[in-house]
Amino acid sequence: MRSRETLLRLHRFRTEEKRRQVADIEFMIQDFTRKFDDLDAQVKFEESRTGVSDPSHFNYSLSAKSARARRDNLLRSIGELKDQLGEAQLHLANEEQELRRAEMLAEKDAMGFGAAMPLQVAAAMR
């Protein structure tokens, strides 16, 4: 019975850890998206300020160019994080399923021991 409790605690811990990972990745995606929007606004402001919106133009703002590069890097990072989020959600679903199985087994064992005890007591009384 002790090992069953340990197994349940292990599955609960793993499930909570997967939930934290999913939440962390979702938070990072939101944060990167906000930063992306800020950099995009900065690029548009610089382009409107200088009147040059073509990055290959010789008079294109260096500030806009560096902000554009950072923005593009953030966009790639967001895409990679979305891939990681999909994997993390899959792992979470699998771990939740394992936890349900372990809980059902523990419930079965508890019910089995509870039903077996009166029979043992009844046999001992004879």
For residue range 43-70, list pLDDT tens digits in order.
999 999 999 999 999 999 999 999 999 9
Residue 19 has pLDDT above 50, yes or no: yes
Closest-CA residue to 27 (of 76, 85, 109): 85
Closest-CA residue to 62 (of 77, 49, 78): 49
Round to whole Å and give the CA distance between 92 and 71.
Answer: 31
What percent of the chain is modeled with pLDDT above 90? Answer: 74
Report the pLDDT value the prediction gives residue 117, as an integer from 0 to 100.
Answer: 44
Round to whole Å and give the CA distance between 92 and 18.
Answer: 5
pTM check: above 0.85: no
